[in-house]
Amino acid sequence: MTLAGSSPSRNVDVQLTLTDIGATLQGTVHYSVLGTDGQVVKDGRILFASRDSTVYPSRFEGQWVGFVTRTQCSGDCSEGNDPVLQSGGVRVVFSQSGGVISGRMMNGIELTGTANGNTLHLSSRIALDPPVCQRPWDGGMTCQLELSVSGSADTLDRLHGSVTYRAAGFNHNGRPYALNATGTLDGLARWP
């Protein structure tokens, strides 16, 4: 069996050739990535594979990993000012019990919200006023943040949706900034 796919937005092409599918997998993988240093092509053999036996008590419980594309930004949008989508990569841990859901992004932003079936909506708010909000002597500080995340999970456990946020504070150089931005969740995968 051969499976092939590509992600134009990430410049990745993948081909998976499976020679045996059972309790484990055997086969090979071929992929190419177009990066800043040019195209890298790799071929590999599956060393081991195990079925993910994780039992999730709810639809969104667990860790989700993937990319968010910032599709719009106004204000001080230069690199280093964005406290939410610093690298484009996102890792978020959700905790869900019934319709109540909370989460934490790996950059420390805490989220709370609701989940209903395959959809979720979370938000986060930071409101720091002077004197707590002041130019730090080392690094940056987010003083104002209003963030909203909406998404839905598909049958392959991929999370699609959007993120909207308004942020203000001091960047890592101590300069004040303010921005408004939106982005799309590019199919975050549940990561055991």
Partner 1 sequence: MRRTTRQSGLWRTIRVMAFLVAYTMPLACGSSSPTAPNPPSAPPSTTTPSLPATFTGVWRANAKAVTCTLRIPAPCEPERSLTFVLRVTAGGPGYLGTFEIEEGLSLPVVISVIGESQPDGSVLFMGAHGVSRDVMVAVQRLLVKLDGAAGLSGDMELRQLVTGTERRTTGTVLSASYQPMLPQSGTNLSGTWSGVSVIRACSGYCPAYRTVGQQVRVSLTIGQSGTALNGQMQLSIFSCSGCWVPFSGSMSDDRLTLSGPMISRDSPSGDRTLHLESLEGSLDYISRLVGSFVYAADSRIAISPFNVSYRLECEILWLKRD
By the rule CB under 8 A, 65 interacts with partner 1: no
By the rule CB under 8 A, 35 interacts with partner 1: no
Distances (CA, A) of 8 to 11, 19, 154, 155: 5, 27, 20, 22
CA-CA distance, 48 to 58, in Å (whole number)? Answer: 28
CB of 179 or CB of 185, closer to partner 1: 185
By the rule CB under 8 A, 26 interacts with partner 1: yes
Which one among 15, 32, 33, 61 touches partner 1, defined by CB under 8 A? 61
| Burial tier of 149 (Cβ tally within 10 Å: 0-12, 13-18, 19+) | buried
By the rule CB under 8 A, 34 interacts with partner 1: no
The residue with tokens 């609701």 is 114
| Strand bridging mode 12-21 / 25-35 | antiparallel
- Three-state DSSP class for residue 8: helix
81-120 residues near partner 1, rule: CB under 8 A: 93-98, 102-104, 110
Specify the stretch interacting with partner 1 by CB under 8 A; choose among 38-46, 67-75, 131-139, 140-148: 38-46
Q: Which residues form the interface with partner 1 (CB under 8 A)?
A: 5-8, 20-26, 29, 41-58, 61-62, 93-98, 102-104, 110, 155-157, 187, 190, 192
